[in-house]
Amino acid sequence: MIWCVDDDNTIRDIEVYTLTQTGFEAKGFADGISMLEALKTEKPELIVLDIMLPGKDGVEILKEIRSNPETRKIPVIMATAKGTEMDKIQGLDTGADDYLVKPFGVMEMVSRIKAVLRRCEPDEKEEVLSIGEITLSDKEHLVTVNGEKVVLTFKEFEILKLFMSNPGIVFSRDKLLSEVWGIDYLGESRTVDMHIKTLRQKLGDAGTIIETVIGVGYKMEGKR
């Protein structure tokens, strides 16, 4: 089941119709608040979420989805008529899995939904990663350093998980954008640098194992 959240009745109806015609079950919501209420009893496979919504906007709604352990892993594609760099960064940093800029073709929407669903297929194998003083539990969405909980944003958590899953592997900034943000992101790579800087600060002394490889990118030293 795909949920489409848009206050424009015409756009919402077209999205739902297109999805049902391409083999998906789909449901529409005119605002994020009613969608959040429905999440208490139902869980969709993916949500297409407009940013400009009445009441709570899409970014606020996404924050609530990502802060709830019951819903944080539901894939979300943000959709908006606003196409500025900062709008994309805000949505993606909050935890969006992809981004659609209106007006978009309905078949582009379907293709992106299929791509996100492939990327987000659940991993039945649940593991706890440990390197040095850092421990990460994906199931609990929990990071600790020497047993002390460290609060990370959604993207900081995903970056750390990628490093801890691939110790010693060097990731370029473009590769990190592709792996963590999940799209062909065309913005400046400094968004990666900012996230790495903040992640290191939050990890304290343990953050020094995230090393800068000059002219290439970043890697995490240590053994799992």
pTM: 0.62
Q: What are phi and psi of 51, to 5 degrees?
A: -80, -45
pLDDT in tens, 98-131: 888 888 888 999 998 998 888 777 655 557 899 9
* pLDDT at position 200: 94
Q: What average pLDDT score do residues 58-68 get?
A: 90
**Which residue segment(s) compose the domain that 70 sits in?**
2-119
Query: What pLDDT, on a 0 to 100 scale, did the predictor assign at position 187?
Result: 52
Written as one letter, the residue type at 60 is: E
The 3-state secondary structure of 155-214 reads HHHHHHHHHHHCCCCCEEHHHHHHHHHCCCCCCCCHHHHHHHHHHHHHHHHHHHHEEEEC
Are 104 and 171 part of one and the same domain? Answer: no
Q: Decide the pairing of beta strands 76-80 and 26-29.
A: unpaired
- Residues 64/33, Cβ–Cβ less than 8 Å: no
Q: How many CB atoms lie within 10 A of CB 143?
A: 23
Per-residue model confidence (pLDDT) at position 61: 93
Q: How confident is the model at residue 136 (pLDDT cuts 50, 70, 90)?
A: very high
pLDDT band at 144 (very low <50, low <70, confident <90, very high): very high
φ/ψ of residue 180, rounded to 5: -90, -45
Residues 12 and 74 in one domain: yes
* Same-domain status, 69 and 106: yes
- Residue that is last in its domain, among 62, 94, 119: 119
Sign of CA dihedral 74, 80, 82, 84: positive
- Work out the pLDDT band at 90, boundaries 50, 70, 90: low
